[in-house]
Structure 1
Amino acid sequence: MTTAADPTPATVRRAADPSPLIGAADLPPARHFVDGTFVEPSTDRVIDVVDPSTEDVIARVPEGTAEDVDRAVAAALAAAGPWARRLPRERSELLHAVADRLAGNTELLARLESANTGKPLAVSTDDVGQAVDTFRFMAGAVRAATSLAAGEYAENHLSVILREPLGVIGVITPWNYPLLMAAWKIAPVLAAGNTLVLKPSEQTPLTTLKFAELVADLLPAGVLNVVNGYGATVGARLAEHPDVDMIALTGSVGSGRAVARAAADTLKRVHLELGGKAPVVVFEDADLTAAASALRVAGFWNSGQECGAACRVLVHESVAGEFIERLVGEVRALVVGEPAAGADVEVGPMVSKAHFDRVTGFLERAKKEGLRAATGGGALDGPGHFVAPTVLVDVPEGAEAAREEIFGPVVTVETFTDEDEAVRRANDVPLGLSASVWTENARRSHDIAARLDFGTVWVNSHLVLASEVPWGGFKGSGYGRDLSIYALDDYTRTKHVMHHHGR
């Protein structure tokens, strides 16, 4: 479905070579990974893993049970003490070895990720590169941790501040960045001296299992464990397990609430990186060409299945027409296709039929509410779960499409009249992960960024990340920080030891 406003509707580029991205030899073992090896599941129930570009089943993984989780947690608990006692230098060296192993398998991991998620190969390759950098950063950061200096803060008493690992961490990762989000959790968890049990998304488990296979000879048995399965069973058991000291989740707001409730009974720590609805505030003095070009990437990277995506534009009314024209031109030029259809493919399919239905449902309701698709607007011909890159205009304040996280290749455009209105409307969403401000006025950029209620605010860019700086949100986007030394802080506890030395 496209609109008459779009004279060049998107089409899906199909791979000319019928050869699949991956072969049987590329697949990881279809089992759980516990205590350093792949183990048989407790039941024979399996979950189909589907290529969203073709809708073909490419693998089947076991459907994990509470019993499988208990076995993995027991292994992690047994390994926790010896791993925690390793010197930071020793843990650092192992993390560097993990990074080397990932880097040496970049092409394999990228193909596997694209086959499982539908990501363009450029996105999957970037994911592997960022995963490598995450491990390298944490390998260095753990050797240079800082804290309050030891000193005499009470008369005749010497205070020493220690940072200790928490123990066993339960990790739940999402389907949109399977390998990268696993790295964002595994690297600081291990660097800080913890062990973990990880549940990948049941839709996209392949690169996480392949990761475990690739590093099995590097990490001590029990330090890293992977249990496949559904959130309602495996995730819930991790969250409630009395021997799990913390639960760390990247996922939906609903999943975050469920995990936090389940964790409450044992008073375990909770780390939540949830959804986003990033406003892009474009002032009248902004470089409109640069903004539109940046949104071509930031709004549609990973097919818009990105919690920091530049998905909600608020543009000053005096330049709205010119900006929309530039943005629509950029979006119409996007190349949509299967990952094997060429290195220049920029937008792939939605990850699943259920998510495809969710995204197209938003577009259908938007049309009924009077929003207009300046380009795109609906599904593209199958096979595969493809949605046309879309720009929605004539968007009134409070519209569903501008407030709810669509999580697809859809950008909405609203207008504003002055700074106060722009800030009020940008903040008037329940999520607070990220935002961006576009202006050539330095004073304005500092002031507006300070007034926006989001964990990351970019100025004249969007969706630029680095391992050295934190990532995490406010409000409904959760709490805790990924990346940077702040992530190491999240996965440790502070102990104060005070020595009386009076004589």
Structure 2
Amino acid sequence: MNQIRRTDETLLPAGELPTLQHYIDGAFRAPASDETVAVVNPATGDELARVARGTVDEVDTAVAAASAALPAWRETTPKDRADLLFHIAERVEKHAAELSRIESANGGKPAMVADDDVAGTADIFRFSAGAARAFTEQGAGDYVADHTSIILREPLGVIGAIVPWNYPLLMAAWKIAPILAAGNTLVLKPSEQTPLSMLKFMEIVGDLLPAGVMNVVTGRGSVVGNRLSEHPDVAMVALTGSVGSGQAVATAAGDSLKRVHLELGGKAPVVIFSDADLAAAAEGVREAGYWNSGQECGAGTRVLVHESVAEEFTKLLVEQVSSFIVGDPAAGEDVEIGPLVSQGHFDRVVAAIDTAVAEGATVAVGGGAVEGAGYFVAPTVLSGVQPGTAAASEEIFGPVVTVETFSTEDEAVRRANETPYGLSASIWTTDAARAIDLPRKIDAGTVWVNCHLVLANDVPWGGFKGSGYGRDLSLYALQDYSRTKHVQINHARK
């Protein structure tokens, strides 16, 4: 059983809090309403700060600022936009320690997770800077006699971006960098639970951006997110969040027929065949199933292992999971598992474990809440999970990995695909033909072979089915945030 490490130290003294206001038209602005949302430290449950509940009028003001800034911004050259994105990356790197501390204090992230998020944030700005200058289109030519066709790529306009609580800085960067690189302006809504790193980000980089090009309005999704989704001057809404949030955004966006970009939940199957390197697979699930305390939409949380090696694999996985260092991120840089983000989410994860046990699963290690302050759940492995139960099909989004068995390859594929999600999956095998063939049969946007949750900004990320549509990262993200236009010129000479 993992021991929990606690401390009286704090990562975020009151004097290091960011400006707790909306960022609109190039400046922080006091909110119009006195209504606020509490922001807490999930390792202790203590309040860190209170942020404004943005109003419809404040969203409208931010959209108007983004609309006013759009004509000049869209006319900047790719080089000029790239230069600015490189400067943003440099600022992020300069303030990396500060941003990492805020991520840890507000989100409960261990230092290794927060540091990785900040490094990834800087890198996506660097990648997008280069990508802004590397668009390629169909070549100009006479596809009709005496008529020359030219394909232009243009920004969409004002983008509304809605960012989740589990990666408040990194997921924001995944949106901001390609949106700006493609020549759009934006209004961003951070999660009301974890808004602090985005407000600090605006303190750090705001002076680099022309007024109105990027705006941040804090508040609840039902108000701020809904207004962005329905606003007639917003050309597209990009959301990373839950399936329910995606459905709400798509519905609200429907009346204006605006584009919608959705990166939603996942229930990633980890399919382990009898010929796999079981020790490597257990180590891989240790990393991919519990990163960020399992609060990761691509996490490898649903193991499907061949029945002939299930007992051996489960034993190896339990050994791996039992070695985790659990605790307050302020208690040391070697802490690997932090708290869940909130009381409400903690309650949902604990209830999911209880439901799984009631439906026949066996707790191999962990199994529930950790006593004491904060929202800690012990790293858990549930074995003997049956197909069709909630634990096998619904996203738990905590430090919980379930183990099921299969007998044939066809069954493994069928079971891997039977959830409503299709974000990511992995296959573990030493059979070269299987390693090439099976990823084509798995209905997921990313399929790893003999690894899981290995990401790079150069390649696309996004899902199928209930996991949404659209692609983050890579050149595909810039394509999502832009449009093509065909210009045809009649040059016939009579």
Query: TM-score of the superposition, structure 2-length normalised?
Result: 0.99
Answering whether residue 4 of structure 2 is matched by residue 12 of structure 1, we say yes
Which amino acid is 2:81 matched to? R
Q: Return the alpha-carbon distance in structure 2 between the equivalents of residues 430 and 116 of structure 1.
A: 31
Aligned-pair distance for 1:321? 0.9
**Conservation of the 8 A alpha-carbon contact between 2:161 and 2:186:** yes
Question: Aligned equivalents of 2:372 and 2:198: distance in 1?
Answer: 28
Matched, 1:413 2:403: yes
Give the letter aligned to residue 83 of structure 1. W
Secondary structure of residue in 2 paired with 1:270: strand
Amino acid at match of 1:450: R
Give the counterpart letter for 1:219 in structure 2: L
**Per the alignment, in what secondary structure is the counterpart of residue 207 of structure 2?**
coil
User: What is the CA-CA distance between 1:10 and the residue it aligns to?
Assistant: 2.1
Measured after TM superposition, the shift of residue 11 of structure 1 is 2.5
Counterparts of 1:99-110 in structure 2 under 5 Å? 99-110=89-100
1:162 match: 152
CA-CA distance at 1:23 after TM superposition: 1.7
Write the distance in 2 (CA, Å) between the matches of 1:476 and 1:396. Answer: 22
Q: Partner of 1:448: helix, strand, or coil?
A: helix
Residue 84 (1) aligns with residue 87 (2): no
State the match for 1:358 in structure 2: 348
The alignment status of 1:315 with 2:343, answered yes or no, reads no
Report deviation, 1:419. Answer: 0.4
**8 A contact 1:12–1:381 mirrored in 2:** no
Matched AA of 1:412: T
Aligned partner of 1:334 in structure 2 is 324
Any stretches of 5+ residues in structure 2 without a counterpart? none
Q: Is 1:466 the counterpart of 2:456 in the alignment? A: yes
Contact 1:10–1:380 at 8 Å: present in 2 too? no
Residues 422, 443 of structure 2: 8 Å contact kept = yes
> What secondary structure, in the 3-state scheme, does the structure 2 residue paired with 1:216 have?
helix
User: CA-to-partner distance for each residue in 1:222-265, whole Å, 9 max, x for gaps?
Assistant: 00100000000000000000111100000000000000000001
Q: Distance in 2 between matches of 1:154 and 1:325?
A: 67
Partners of 1:238 and 1:247 within 8 A in 2: yes
Confirm whether residue 211 of structure 1 aligns to residue 201 of structure 2: yes
Which among 447, 472, 485 is matched to residue 495 of structure 1? 485
Corresponding letter in the other structure for 2:291: W
Q: How big is the shift at 1:284? A: 0.6
Between the aligned partners of 1:424 and 1:363, the Cα distance in structure 2 is 25
The reply on whether 1:393 has 2:383 as its aligned counterpart is yes
- What CA deviation, in whole Å up to 9, does each residue of 1:175-214 have, x standing for no partner? 0000000000000000000000000000000001111111
1:241-260 aligned within 5 A: 241-260=231-250
Q: Distance in 1 between matches of 2:326 and 2:386?
A: 29
Corresponding letter in the other structure for 2:10: P
Q: 1:197 corresponds to which letter in structure 2? A: V
1:171 aligns with 2:161: yes
The runs of at least 4 aligned residues of structure 1 exceeding 6 Å deviation read none
Give deviations 1:9-57, integer Å, cap 9, x for gaps: 2221112xx3310122321111000001000111111111000001010
Which residue does 1:238 correspond to in 2? 228
Deviation at 1:370, TM superposition (A): 1.6
Q: Which residue of 2 aligns with 1:197?
A: 187
| Matched positions, count | 493
In the alignment, which of 10, 20, 23 is matched to residue 13 of structure 2? 23
Corresponding position of 2:41: 51
Of all paired residues, the percent bearing the same amino acid is 63
Letter in 2 for 1:65: T
- Residue aligned with 1:299, SS: helix
Q: CA deviation at 1:394?
A: 1.0
Letter of the 1:67 counterpart: D
Q: Deviations over 1:320-371 (max 9, x none)?
A: 1110110010000011100011111110111000000000000111111121
| Paired residue secondary structure (1:217) | helix
Cα distance in 2 for residues equivalent to 1:399 and 1:216: 48
* Residue of structure 2 equivalent to 1:274: 264
Question: Contact between 2:189 and 2:225, CA under 8 Å: does it hold in 1?
Answer: yes
In structure 2, what is the Cα distance between the partners aligned to 1:254 and 1:367? 26
| 8 Å contact kept, 1:35–1:225 | yes
Aligned to 1:379: 369
- Distance in 2 (CA, whole Å) between partners of 1:372 and 1:281 is 20
Is this contact kept in 2: 1:35–1:76, CA < 8 A? yes
Task: Report the 3-state secondary structure (helix = DSSP H, G, I; strand = E; otherwise coil) of the residue aligned with 1:347.
Answer: coil
SS in 1 for 2:191: coil
Q: Is the 8 A contact 2:360 2:386 kept in 1?
A: no
Which residue in 2 is equivalent to 1:112? 102
Secondary structure, aligned partner of 1:300: helix
Worse-matched range after superposition: 365-374 or 247-256: 365-374
2:279 to 274, 286, 289: 289
- The AA in structure 2 aligned to 1:12 is I
Letter in 2 for 1:340: A
C-alpha distance after superposition, 1:374-421 (max 9, x if no partner): 000100012000000000001111111010000000000011111000
Whether the 8 Å CA contact 1:467–1:484 is kept in 2: the answer is: yes
**Deviation digits for residues 436-463 of structure 1 (CA, Å, limit 9, x no counterpart):** 0000011001111110000000000000
Does the aligned pair in 2 maintain the 1:164–1:493 contact within 8 Å?
Answer: yes
**1:416-455 superposed matches below 5 A:** 416-455=406-445
Opposite residue 14 of structure 1, the aligned amino acid is R
Task: Answer yes or no: is the 8 Å Cα contact 2:140–2:151 preserved in 1.
Answer: yes
2:17 and 2:58 map into 1 onto residues whose CA distance is: 22
- Alignment deviations for residues 441-487 of structure 1 (CA, whole Å, 9 cap, x no partner): 11001111110000000000000000000000000000000000000
> Is 1:164–1:495's contact at 8 Å kept on the other side of the alignment?
yes
Contact 1:11 1:380 in 2 (8 A): no
